[in-house]
Amino acid sequence: MMLTEFSDLWNKIEVGKIVSIQRRIDSLNPLNIFFGYDTLGFREFIVVTEISPHLQLNSASINIEIGIRKDEKFAVCFRLTDKHKEAVFVHLCWDLFEYTNDSSDDVDGIKKIQNRFRIWQKLFDEGNDGLLSIQAIKGLIGELVFLKTYAFEDYGIENAIKSWIGPHNAHKDYWFESSWYEIKTIDSGTKDITISSLEQLASDVIGFIVCVIVEKTSKTATNRLNLPIIVDSIRTMLNDNEEIRLEFESKLLEIGYFDRDEYYNFNFAYIESKKYIVDKGFPKITSSNVDNAITEVKYKISLASIRNWLVE
């Protein structure tokens, strides 16, 4: 089920002024999952299970309540308490629903909810309900431009998604069978790039640095690019492969991205991409060419100085 379809489930319910309303989501999901509204008109997402889950959320906009029903089953209720955060709430519920669709049974489903929810809790713990910084937004746009424009075509959609390891806090953004890629999203006119660790360019395998060049633009520019635009375009390309689509969504969430209207305010124009081959002669600092006493390094490389490594 697509995110927009899931969101529409609530819109199809006529909200009462006094009575709490819930409807079961009609799906193949093995869990008994309901959606609806409480007596105050706030959205609810309820999972009924025989297992007592261990969930905790620290947020001013979403509450979790775990109760015991008359049939002695547990009812886990996710309740929205701030209507300004409906987009966050819907994405949370949709993600939990989608992530449990292939559960083998009730026990497996609840374990998946608990594991998945730990990622969401981390987002809420970081404050501002998980909105990415401007630098993180630019970085993710660059990685997704490379994914859609180059990796899908050169390596195939499924292989490209699986090879995107940046969301796992890896030292490289993409690692394929015989090469790797580190993506640097930079402004037009930038003269150098930052290498954040000894490991980022360290490898016995030849890899590439891809500089995705962008510049800020307005919300009305016809060539604007923002996270919602590029994420939705990739989602459309993954519609026929449920497993890969869920893996893509999972990696977005690990980065800290989920659909928010605020992201429409951060618009860029894509200029071009430049690719540099990182071979043995490429200027870099790694653990193999520094003293063992040095354990952490952050440095800059002049783009003008690596023109000889530019791949046309």
Strand partners, 310: 276
Tokens (6 digits) for 124: 């809420």
Determine the average pLDDT of the residues in 108-136.
81
In this prediction, residue 5 carries a pLDDT of 86
* Range with lowest mean pLDDT among 40-54, 168-182, 283-297: 40-54
Predicted local confidence at residue 300, as pLDDT: 98
pLDDT recorded at residue 63? 87
Confidence of residue 239 (pLDDT cuts 50, 70, 90): confident
Cα–Cα distance list, 132 to 50, 136, 246 (Å): 37, 6, 21
**Distance in angstroms (rounded) separating the CA atoms of residues 77 and 63:** 8
| Cα Rg of the chain (Å, integer) | 22
Q: What is the pLDDT of residue 61?
A: 80
Residue 278: what residue type? V
* Contacts of 106 by beta carbon, 8 Å cutoff, 6+ apart: 30, 31, 49, 50, 51
Q: What value does the mean pLDDT take over residues 234-245?
A: 92
By the 8 A CB rule, do 59 and 129 touch? yes
| Choice between 202 and 4, residue whose per-residue pLDDT is larger | 202
CATH 3.30.1460 range(s) for the chain read 3-130
Given this structure, which CATH class describes domain 3-130?
Answer: alpha beta
Please check the confidence at residue 67 and state whether its pLDDT lies above 60.
yes
**Does residue 125 register a pLDDT over 60?**
yes
Mean pLDDT of the chain: 90
- pLDDT higher than threshold 80 for residue 25: yes
Asked whether 65 and 77 are in contact (CB, 8 A), the reply is yes
Residue 111, pLDDT > 90, answer no
pTM of this structure: 0.82
- Packing angle of the helix pair 86-99, 3-11 (nearest 10 deg): 120
Q: For residue 44, what pLDDT band results from cuts at 50, 70 and 90?
A: very high
Instruction: Report the pLDDT averaged over residues 59-65.
Output: 83
The 10s digit of each residue's pLDDT in 180-227 is 999 999 999 999 999 999 999 999 999 999 999 999 999 999 999 999
* Angle 199-193-133 from CA coordinates, rounded to 5°: 90
Inter-CA distances, 239 with 3, 96, 248, 303, Å: 12, 18, 11, 38
